[in-house]
Amino acid sequence: MPEKYEFDAEICEVKDRGGAYIVFPWDIRKEFGAGRVRVSVLFDGIAYDGSIVNMGVKDASGNTCYIIGILKSIRKELGKANGDVVHVVVRRR
């Protein structure tokens, strides 16, 4: 398991809910041996503590996607919205 996971991800807004998330591009069960993992995240350098979870999101092939929520306040500070790309650094906490 790497010390950190670093990648670029598209912000996906949840219609009619006000929330948003990014997809963590690894299978957390294979990477961490768990279905929910507490993590520290940097979104374009802005710190956030949260979890990688399965919320029923599927990719185009129907595979399970693990996601990390991105707060509205962080999106506002970044000036980013649905479809914008953010640089993500994830560490297990």
pLDDT digits (tens, 9 = 90+) for 10-69: 999 988 777 999 999 999 999 999 989 999 999 999 999 999 999 888 888 888 899 999
Per-residue pLDDT at 35: 87
- Domain 5-92 in CATH 2.40.30.100: yes
Q: How many CB atoms lie within 10 A of CB 59?
A: 10
Per-residue pLDDT at 74: 96
pTM listed for this prediction: 0.92
Amino acid, single-letter form, for residue 20: A
Per-residue pLDDT at 77: 97
Three-state helix/strand/coil letters over 17-62 = CCCEEEEECCCHHHHHCCCCEEEEEEECCEEEEEEEEEEEEECCCC
Per-residue pLDDT at 15: 81
Residue bearing the bigger pLDDT, 82 or 58: 82
